[in-house]
Chain A
Amino acid sequence: MKSYLPAEFIIERNEDRCIRCLACVRQCGFETHVYDAEEDSLLSKEELCVGCLRCVTICPTRALTVRTNPSEPRPNANWTREHLRDVARQAESGGVILTGSGNDKPIRSYWDHLYLNASQVTNPSIDPLREPMELRTYLGKKPDTFNPGDAKTRESECSNVRIETPLLFSAMSFGAISLQAMQSLAQAASEYGTLFNTGEGGLPSELVDYGKSAIVQCASGRFGVNWEYLNNSAIVEIKIGQGAKPGIGGHLPGEKVLAKVAETRMIPMGTDALSPAPQHDIYSIEDLSMLIYALKEATNYRKPISVKIAAVHNAAAIATGMVRAGADMIVIDGIRGGTGAAPKLIRDHVGIPIELALAAVDSRLREEGIRNWASLVAAGGFRSAADVIKAIALGADAVYLGTAALVAMGCTICQKCYTGICNWGICTNRPELAKRLNPDVAARRLENLLRAWSLEIKEILGGMGVNAIESLRGNRLQLRGVGLEEWELRVLGVKGAGE
């Protein structure tokens, strides 16, 4: 069918600079650039361009510029360019519109309406460059009481996992991301003393040595889940939902189930890997408890069991059920959480912002006196250390970084993850593309990110006059809201600025 879709991007080539090296032709997995040898000319099929800027970055003479297509239909505040485009795409295909990465709509970011406190006069601030500053965090259930001399307390069933900074890498499964990308995450996590998350696609055999830095997921597809997988881990995570697609499962299409992916997921090559929307052994909190304890039994109570849900309207009530069901760690993933593939409608419209869900969950667990029963991890679009530190003040023990980690590796958030083509070698399993990501270099970039954000967190802690992240955790008095309505301040549990 003839497409009426205009190109999203235009490509400008500076002919004076172009040396016909054809790097752009080779680098674009979407085959945007074409070389005509007869004419010695380079053409750009702009309708194929996704705006990932790989060619722009690689071009040795900086001859290329990619810009959003400036041709605009008649301005219309209701029928935006995106709406027109989506209707045309659906008229051409009759299908559900897929997308990748996190929500790109201008959802109110509460982080940008919360401001942090600092010490002035009445209590001294601390210089983190001169004094020790503690970011070490323990994930898992904490005992109700603690007597240092009591052997029973020490040997309680609260097995905890130590991380050196409250930053974890989010679940990204092999099959969605490349082996190289997963190895980069594993290496960086292991070097820095934190954890990466296998997602639900299993742990590739090349990475079994990183098991002690891995959070391994048990999701509805149960891919790659066996005794070894569960026990070669730091934490086992039951995935109920994901912020980018609450309430639905996942389809890894057969063409992406190549030999290595098939081996890791333990399914035949080329078959669709379907993750049903619910876990079919979990239809209630009681059933969740059954799986939590099944996993505890299978791992002989040596691993904290985490449960991850998407931030939805009743997150607080569900979270208390999860904790009472026996979860040692709960993860709330907000509406800005990323994905390798999700229907755009769901990514953009289902769920609630993490800030509100996190505050509601933390408050609820405190009210019920069970906050110590589980660690609380927030996820979904953390862009900077400032977002992280505000989340910790709202009550999080740690945060998951997904998109930020991908960006550290080179991702430009072009949102085409679902195509299986990623010019940066991250979200692809085409060997010629995946090999572009050097795990040693990418791991270094990830470690640098962890280091930089950790330093910034220490800086802010010092400014507040505290020397341990523990002192900030759930300390909402360190936050003040600006430009928020009464109900928003109430849900967040923070005062307005000046109050």
Chain B
Amino acid sequence: MLPEINSQLPILNPQPPTGEVAQVDARGLDYRELNRRVDDLLASGAGEIEIRGVHGQRYIASRIRRPVNFRIHGTPGNDLAAFSDGVRLEVFGDAQDGVGNTMNSGEIIVHGRAGDIVGMGMRGGRIFIRDEVGYRTAIHMKEYREQRPVIVIGVMGQDFLGEYMAGGVVVILNLPPRNPKSFSRPPAFIGTGIHGGKIFFRGKLEPYQTGKEVGFDCPDEKEKELLNGIIRDYSNYFSQNLDHVIPDDFLKLYPKNLRPYGRLYAY
């Protein structure tokens, strides 16, 4: 027999994490088994979840919508915490593509690097990536009322960072790469099609590196305060001394026009 028109998902108990730390060994589990196990642990009262031996399992924490702490050891797969709402997730390793895809709130901290489209369509919450990220970071990131997403990149991103960006804040700390042999080409087309939000870039940019919709300025006092807070959080999260990183070193990239395609059409 086929089920009737849909039924509602049971809403998980929206209590703050007070329970004990549950341990999961992800070795040999596919993502469905892993995510189901996480559901079961949360349903039985776990308040914090530590997953070890993660090898590319996708969609971790993607249907959780309450403030659960996750500690993930290994390499989580694509769409980590996609659509998530309120989780706090720390990854001890690298992350792959789609970290925080369409995320609504919460915090993701990656002690390593991340792949492409970090924070795509993200609407709220914060993502801290210690090292490099791939292409199209923060693409189409938005903001809505009090929800104002923040993405912080420790080292450098690749091309099309902030493409179509409609809100929120991206900060690129431009710290030296951990592995001095790692080479990444300077990113180009930053902020192509940007029509909202701001990007703070530490250091200098050549004209070819940004999209034509981008304007340049220095951070104002309020923004410097924001940057100070972010620098402080980054240095706490990753235990790094960032005394030499000061808000005055940042360039502010902003949308010159909130209606980039206003004159495209014949009415």
A interface residues (Cβ-Cβ under 8 A, vs B): 89-90, 92-98, 138, 140, 154, 158-162, 212-213, 220-222, 225-227, 230-234, 251, 253-254, 266-268, 270-272, 274, 276, 280-281, 290, 293-295, 297-300, 302-303, 343, 418-419
Contacts and interface: CB of A to CB of B under 8 A. Distances in A.
Contacts of B117: 280-281
Q: How large is the interface on B (under 10, 10 to 19, 20 to 34, 35 or more residues)?
A: 35 or more
B171 interface: no
B266 A272 contact: no
B164 interface: yes
B9 A300 contact: yes
Contacts of A272: 195, 258-262
24 contacts: A89-B266, A90-B266, A93-B267, A159-B2, A220-B140, A231-B8, A234-B6, A254-B262, A267-B143, A267-B166, A267-B167, A271-B258, A274-B140, A274-B193, A280-B120, A280-B136, A290-B78, A290-B79, A294-B58, A294-B59, A294-B62, A294-B101, A297-B62, A302-B9
Nearest to A297: B59
B259 A161 contact: no
B196 interface: yes
Contacts of B104: 226-227
Q: Which interface residue of B2, B259, B264 has the most chain A CB atoms within 10 A?
A: B2
A127 B107 CA distance: 63
B102 A225 contact: yes
Given A266-B144, A276-B139, A276-B140, 20 more contacts: A93-B265, A95-B267, A96-B264, A161-B6, A212-B6, A220-B140, A227-B84, A234-B5, A254-B259, A267-B166, A268-B167, A272-B258, A274-B261, A281-B98, A290-B79, A294-B58, A297-B31, A297-B32, A298-B62, A299-B9
Contacts of A281: 79, 97-98, 101, 117, 120
A138 B266 contact: no
Nearest to A138: B2
A486 to B, nearest CB: 41
B142 A267 contact: yes
Nearest to B32: A297
A96 B144 contact: no
A227 B83 contact: yes
A63 B1 CA distance: 60
Contacts of A298: 59, 62-63, 82-83
B7 interface: yes
Given A93-B266, A97-B266, A227 B65 contact: yes
A272 B78 CA distance: 29
B3 interface: yes
B20 interface: no
Q: Most A CB atoms within 10 A — which of B35, B65, B136?
A: B65
A276 B8 contact: no
Interface in B24-72: 31-32, 35, 39, 58-59, 62-63, 65
B123 interface: yes
B94 interface: no
B4 interface: yes
A233 B6 contact: yes
Contacts of B166: 267, 271, 274
A107 to B, nearest CB: 24
B134 interface: no
B266 A160 contact: no
- The winner among B3, B195, B264 for most chain A CB atoms within 10 A is B3
Given A280-B139, A281-B98, A298-B62, A226 B123 contact: yes
Contacts of B267: 93, 95, 98, 418-419
Top 7 closest A-B pairs, CB basis?
A: A222-B121, A95-B266, A93-B266, A266-B144, A297-B59, A160-B2, A298-B83
Which DSSP category, helix, strand, loop or mixed, fits chain B's interface?
loop
Contacts of B123: 226, 266
A222 B140 contact: yes
Nearest to B135: A280
B83 A225 contact: yes
A251 B196 CA distance: 15
A220 B136 CA distance: 14
B65 to A, nearest CB: 5
A164 B29 CA distance: 40
Contacts of B261: 251, 272, 274
Nearest to A304: B6
A290 B7 contact: no
B131 interface: no
A241 B29 CA distance: 35
Contacts of A232: 8
A178 to B, nearest CB: 20
B90 interface: no
A486 B119 CA distance: 51
Contact of B144 (A93, A268, A295, A303): A268
A161 B4 CA distance: 6
B159 interface: no
B85 interface: yes
Contacts of A220: 140
Contacts of B84: 227
B9 A92 contact: no
Contacts of B264: 95-96, 251
Nearest to A343: B265
A163 B86 CA distance: 35
